[in-house]
Amino acid sequence: MGVKLGILGLGTVGTGTVQLLQDRAGRHPLLQEIEIYRVGVRSLQKSRAVELPTDVVTTDLDAIVNDPAVDIIVEVMGGLEPARSLILKALNNGKHVVTANKAAIARFGAEIFTAANQAGVYVMLEAAVGGGIPVIQPLKQSLSVNRIHAITGIVNGTTNYILTRMQTEGSNFSDVLADAQQLGYAEADPTADVDGLDAADKIAILASLGFSGRINLQDVYCEGIRQVSKTDIAYAEKLGFVIKLLAIAKRNAPLSPSSPLFVRVHPTLVPKTHPLASINGVYNAILVEGEPIGQVMFFGPGAGAGATASAVSSDILNLVAILKTKTVAPNLLLACGHQEYCQIAPMAELVTRFYARFLTKDQPGVIGKLGTCFGNYEVSLESIVQTGFQGELAEIVVVTHDVREGNFRQALAEIRSLEAIDSIPSLLRVL
């Protein structure tokens, strides 16, 4: 007997998945076991890129998750509700779930995985982070014996596309965003992408897997790219960096399993020699560092119908394999094995390098005063340059050595009070 799928959603990801599952030649033979049994949509009037029998497509999504004949629910509708409730109903009805919904998992992961464990079923989410890039299963299985030190990713294609174009064309953020929206690379409401919220959901999921604990999304520090200017991109370039929106989950040195863990999303100056510096356009990449593996980088398409369908369908196939072998004992590597929350350290404790740009009066002694303020808070400078002017004001750019963020901010507060300082237009962290 075939394994029956109930697919919730027939948009970009749902359509890609149905297309892949209908086009089986040359793919894994287990795909033959899959039956697309029900597909839930909002509108029956919309024209669709796939052909499905009329009795398969329905607007009654509750009926799909409550149908005893359905073995696996594939949630590719997105959004928080009714996605959350439908996933929970499916799990409580003893159905495995495959989802691409990072927003729902990052917010409701605790209740979703608790429900799955209680029902003895799995929630698979390979497509939720990095689109087509295999990173969830590698973290759960292939890398599971490693002590993970850091996960550093470019996990949002829209912002990487915008920053790449700002870098190559010397354009402004708002101009590139408008163009990206016209070309269909950025959504009409770009908030989740450009404000870093999508990346925060994704790093919360990756951190949970890498550091074996739940992550409270509110503890993830999040800064988007709206304030990144072409001036800073040009300065970064001169100093040997590119600016990327990085999602980082990392322990402070000295490394030990009890060292403070920071989970954060922010625009970052990345040395041009770093492997993530060359990830351009809509591509994603995730660098995992651990012991004893060292560094492993996953790279590929982070979104799109085909890429995401590849991830969703591989999750489905994993479940089909389990259902076909009638495995009764839970696979401890596929199930969520942790109930405790990770302790996330406050950003004031983070040790990192900073880049800051100051606009100051053009008068003698300003650089000396800046140096004194930084010295007062043990902020050591790697470089300080004054290369340009903005009108009457001198532009001074500083890059620090590794410093405690709390100390750096105290030094900035003192600097802001100096009569010679006009403003501090940019403040970015350096990898």
Q: Residue 193 binds which one of ligand HSE, ligand NAP, none, with CB within 5 to 8 A depending on kind?
A: ligand HSE
Query: In the set 36, 97, 100, 309, which binds ligand NAP (CB under 6 A)?
Result: 100
Tell me, letter by letter, the H, E, C secondary structure of the chain.
Answer: CCEEEEEECCCHHHHHHHHHHHCCCCCCHHHHHEEEEEEECCCCCCCCCCCCCCCCEECCHHHHHHCCCCCEEEECCCCCCCHHHHHHHHHHCCCEEEECCHHHHHHHHHHHHHHHHHHCCCEECHHHCCCCCCCHHHHHHHCCCCEEEEEEEECCHHHHHHHHHHHHHCCCHHHHHHHHHHHCCCCCCCHHHHCCHHHHHHHHHHHHHHCCCECCHHHCEECCCCCCCHHHHHHHHHHCEEEEEEEEEEECCCCCCCCCEEEEEEEEEEECCCHHHHCCCCEEEEEEEEECCEEEEEEEECCCHHHHHHHHHHHHHHHHHHHHCCCCCCCCCCCCCCCCECCECCHHHCEEEEEEEEEECCCCCHHHHHHHHHHHCCCCEEEEEEEEEECCEEEEEEEECCEEHHHHHHHHHHHHCCCCEEEEEEEEEEC
- Residue 71 binds which entry of ligand NAP, ligand HSE, none, with Cβ cut-offs from 5 to 8 Å by kind? none
Q: Which of ligand HSE, ligand NAP, none does residue 10 bind to, with CB < 5 to 8 Å depending on kind?
A: ligand NAP
Residue 236 or 303 with smaller CB distance to ligand HSE:
303
Using rule CB under 6 A, residue 200 touches ligand NAP:
no
Q: In angstroms, give the least distance from the CB of 250 to ligand HSE.
A: 21
Check binding of 192 to ligand NAP (CB under 6 A): no
The reply to whether 304 sits near ligand NAP by the rule CB under 6 A is: yes
User: Is 61 near ligand NAP (CB under 6 A)?
Assistant: yes
Which is nearer to ligand NAP, 102 or 165 (by Cβ)? Answer: 102
Per-residue x/- track, 14-53, ligand NAP (CB under 6 A): x-------------------------xxxx--x-------
Residue 228 beta carbon to ligand HSE: minimum distance, rounded to whole angstroms: 16
Of 12, 101, 137, 158, the residue at the interface with ligand HSE (CB under 6 A) is 158
Mark whether 202 is an active-site residue.
yes
Of 4, 89, 95, 202, which is the active-site residue? 202
Instruction: Indicate whether 210 belongs to the interface with ligand NAP (CB under 6 A).
Output: no
User: Choosing among ligand HSE, ligand NAP, none, which partner's interface includes residue 9 (Cβ < 5 to 8 Å by kind)?
Assistant: ligand NAP
Nearer to ligand NAP, 77 or 412 (CB): 77
Among 160, 208, 308, 360, binds ligand NAP (CB under 6 A): 308
* 302 is a site residue for ligand HSE (CB under 6 A): yes
The pair of structure tokens assigned to 114 is 């608790």
Is residue 157 involved in binding ligand HSE (CB under 6 A)? yes
Binding mask 115-134 for ligand NAP (x = CB under 6 A): ------------x---x---
Residue 356's contacts (CB-CB under 8 Å, 6 or more residues apart) are 397, 398, 400, 412, 424, 426, 427, 428
- Binding characters for ligand HSE, 168-207, by CB under 6 A (x = yes): -------------------------x----x---------
Considering the rule CB under 6 A, would residue 11 count as an interface residue with ligand NAP?
A: yes
Residues at the site binding ligand HSE, with contacts judged by CB under 6 A: 131, 156-158, 193, 198, 302-303
Q: Which residues are catalytic?
A: 202
